[in-house]
Amino acid sequence: MSSDVQPHLGFLQMNDYVSVATITAVIYDYFLNFSREVDYVWCRSWTWVSTIFVVVRYIGLTWAILGTIFYTTFVPDSVKVSTAILLVANWGFPIFLGAADLVMILRVYAMWHRSKRILYILLFIFIPPIIVFFVFTGIYNNPNKYLIVTTVQVSNFSICKVSLHNITLTQARHVYNEIPRFFLSVLLLILAAFPTLKQSIEMYKATKQWQPNKYMQQLVGDGIVYFVVNVAYNIVVLQNGQTSSISILFLGFFSLITITPMMPRFIISVRELYDRDRGYQQGIDTGFGVLSQPVAGENAVVSAIVFAAVNPGQEDGQVVEGDAEDSEGIRLELLGDGARHV
C-alpha cells in the first residue's frame, strides 16, 4: 500500500467511526425521549406548535442521518443516489434551523410576557437570514449548474466528493446567513437569561441569602441551557472551514449530537413545565406565547398567539395554587404567564 494513501484511509476510517457514533447517539436520543413525545405531543390536542415539533424532530433527524452518511464509505457507488441523499439532507437543513430559531423566538416572546416589541425585533432579525439561506440553498443545490457530485476511489473504497462551480456562494452564505444567525442566538440568550437573573437577584434581596440550587432549577426549568447550546452551535458553524479536517470532523459530530436532539427536547420540556404548573387550563403551549382553548360544543381546540401580559380572570397578585404550602417562599413570575412561589 502506498504511503500516500495510508493517511487518507486512516481519515476515512475515523470518519466512519465518528459517523456511526453520531447516528447512534441521535437515534438513541430519539428512542430515549419517545415516551415523552407520545405524552406531550401525540396524546394532546394538535396545535401549530405541534407541527413545529414534527419539523424539528423528524426533518432534523432525517437531515442528521443523511448528512452524516453522505461523507462515509457506506454510501452506494452511484452518483444519482449520492446526489439524492445530499439534496434531501441539504434542503432539510434550512427547514430544521428555521423552525428551531422560531421555537426559541417564541419562548423568549413568552418569557417577556408576550411583548409585541420583542417579537417584532426578533422576527426582523430572523426573517432576512432565513430567506437568504433558502435562496442560497436553492442555488447551491442545483446539480445542473453549480453542484457537482462525483465518486472518488481511494484504495478499495469509493467515496463521494462535492464541488462547486462558484465558491463565492459559500462565502456569501457565511456573511449573510451564518453571522446574522450567530448574533441572533446571542441576543436570544441575553433576553432569555435576563428575566431569570433578575428573579434570582429579587430572591436574594427577599431572603438575604444565595440559593444556588434554586437558581439552577430555575435556569433548567426556563430552558436557558438550550439557548447556551444554541450559541455554542453557531460558534462551531462559524469555525467550520477555518480549521483542520480532523477538527471539522469532531466539530460536526458535536453539532449534530447537540442541535438535532436539542429542539425536540426543548419543546417537550417547556410543555411539561406548563402542563405541571398550569394543570393544562390554557394549553401546554403557554410557554411559547400560545393559548389553546376548546371550541364550545366541540372536541376541537383553537390555538393562537396572544399579545397579553395578564391572564383573563387572574388578578395581578394571584398565585398559582399548589405551592402555597411553602410559607417561606417568595412570589416569582412563571416566565411567560402568571406567578408561582419558589
- pLDDT tens by residue, 20-32: 888 898 999 999 9
Grid cell at residue 123: 422576527
pLDDT at 328: 36
In whole angstroms, give the CA distance from residue 171 to residue 177.
10
List of residues 6+ apart from 226 with CB closer than 8 A: 104, 262, 263, 265, 266
Task: For the chain, give the percent of residues with pLDDT over 90.
Answer: 24
Structure-model confidence comparison of residues 282 and 14, the more confident one: 14
In whole angstroms, give the CA distance from residue 34 to residue 30.
6
List of residues 6+ apart from 209 with CB closer than 8 A: none
Instruction: Check whether 321 has a pLDDT greater than 60.
Output: no
In whole angstroms, give the CA distance from residue 292 to residue 267.
16
In whole angstroms, give the CA distance from residue 85 to residue 76.
10
Q: Which of 86-90, 140-144, 209-213, 294-298: highest mean pLDDT?
A: 86-90
Instruction: Establish how many alpha carbons lie within 13 A of residue 168's alpha carbon, considering only the half-sphere containing its beta carbon.
Output: 0
H or E element: which one contains 203? helix 179-207
In whole angstroms, give the CA distance from residue 93 to residue 72.
19
Cα 162 to Cα 19, 75, 86, 304: the distances in Å are: 18, 14, 9, 43
Structure-model confidence comparison of residues 186 and 70, the more confident one: 186
Q: What is the CA radius of gyration of the chain?
A: 23
CB 309 within 8 A of CB 299: no
pTM of the model: 0.79
Burial of 209 (0-12, 13-18, 19+ CB in 10 A): exposed
**In the structure, what pLDDT confidence band is assigned to residue 274 with cuts at 50, 70 and 90?**
confident
3-class secondary structure, 160 = strand
Mean pLDDT of 238-255: 65
pLDDT at 294: 46
DSSP state of 16: H
pLDDT at 127: 94
What value, to the nearest 5°, has the Cα angle with vertex 38 and ends 37 and 40? 65
In whole angstroms, give the CA distance from residue 103 to residue 97.
10
Mean pLDDT of 132-143: 81
| Across 43-47, 150-154, 210-214, 336-340, least confident range | 336-340
CB 217 within 8 A of CB 253: no
Structure-model confidence comparison of residues 69 and 342, the more confident one: 69
Q: Which of 91-95, 242-246, 249-253, 313-317: highest mean pLDDT?
A: 91-95
Tens digit of each residue's pLDDT (9 = 90 or more) over 276-312 = 765 445 567 888 887 654 444 444 444 555 544 334 3
DSSP state of 326: -
pLDDT at 267: 93
Structure-model confidence comparison of residues 219 and 32, the more confident one: 32
Tens digit of each residue's pLDDT (9 = 90 or more) over 120-132 = 999 999 999 899 8
| Across 161-170, 302-311, 331-340, least confident range | 331-340
**In the structure, what pLDDT confidence band is assigned to residue 117 with cuts at 50, 70 and 90?**
very high
Average pLDDT value over all residues in the chain? 75
Instruction: Establish how many alpha carbons lie within 13 A of residue 246's alpha carbon, considering only the half-sphere containing its beta carbon.
Output: 6
pLDDT at 168: 59
| Across 93-97, 265-269, 331-335, least confident range | 331-335
